Structure 1
């Protein structure tokens, strides 16, 4: 069983901390078994907003974890605690995958883990992070960045997107989608999407596109065009594009492409269908087309992906992490 350690200290933001606990610390063995062994690591009892949290272990335990999560940190105007920074750096040097949520990126930056890398944080703090850490390439426009062994997310809901991305890398798309459904959150927001999205997922009946998304997902095997989608939504193609950008941060065809790739991942994990059959079921047409787009988006060919997730790697292992090429944003 792989271990996920949450690095905590006084002044952590409770929402990002709670999200990580809910994703990695909940008992979901009815969905997948084994799940993660989850630790809270910090110096004695720590204060998180108005709450006090009792860690399971000291910060030295971070070096024994496979994955270390650093939640958002409230006081970004000050240098983060030296003992926390040192413990996170030591854990990474020991081989841990390290991920920050929201302003936790300031702690990773202080540890030197973001030097020479692309990173993100909450959009309201990206300019400050870039000013204080000039060796870091700060991207203010994405939900999260995956550099392989070091990952960073934007704020609030984007923290959940990164947590689910880690689950997808370790356990596959099917398990990640089940965890997302359990939490009643969208499973398909990729890292390259824009941070500032007014309404990421519309409630049924609350938006002109609310009924279009399920209609598309039921027809992924069909050769859908922007004109088809606009006709179903009863609006012009230009109007459709504006609504899609507002809701998803991407274009209709980019969103459709992502859904087809995710559906292909699930079919590869859960069925014995041939690559040709999966290409047909996902609207890719031919096995050649599916292989090209799948490898470009996921980072490995469909056959390799199937072998990886049919024989489950240990979560957090090099094999599991290898599905995301170093330094790349998850493609849309």
Structure 2
């Protein structure tokens, strides 16, 4: 049964569906499986990935790998998608009832999930900031992939949410010099509050030990390569969907013996994989978020869930203002 965007039947939970043609629709939730029932407080929108889902640009070769936990529908759409939900457990194991949890779950007002899929929030972590947990996992994984260490010169190209998260982690390395490079000068203040410097592409450092690219653009990747010092590593964090991206591998790329490394959060970084599970990594991401109140600056767009079909597509458009997007659910009010 499909609910209208104005609410559907009384008490009926709704889910957000991407139609794959630039539109979003709210539909009646199917309920789901699992011993725990969670009522959503808020959920984070992954701007880059969900833009591709919104526009139906997930390549067919990646349909299986791109499936989110408890996703319904199939790419290119319609599809119920999302993976950054925070809510309160209303039914389930006694030790979880009443607790706020993070869950890799699509955007919906309420859902059922296995207790093993729920991650209790650390004491003092606000629900809104907790929606960054999946992005923080991505940032942590990329930092591991980069091999960055104390006293390194580290450049992050792309000052979106993921880029600023990895910059905030890199800035905690003893003696590290971290610079965020972005075309949007308004992101300088956020980068500096997180302990990093800031530069426009034309003024970017050119002798970095490690470069991490998170701008999701060919121009940004070219800038990242130009920032790398001799035999330095460039970590590609962006995912471009079905788009082909020009990579400038001519000129001095080979003579400087640069390393171009892919990073993807689907698996724990090889350097940690023998000892770290995905659950341990997510728990670490939540603790990192709890320890850094300044990361609240990364969430600057809030959309009421009932308005998502109207307000979310323009916020996901390329070049739309803002950093992090959160959907808020009126059925829950956080104390």
TM-score > 0.5 by shorter chain: no
Calculate the TM-score normalised by the size of structure 2.
0.30
Larger relative strand fraction = 2
Calculate the TM-score normalised by the size of structure 1.
0.30
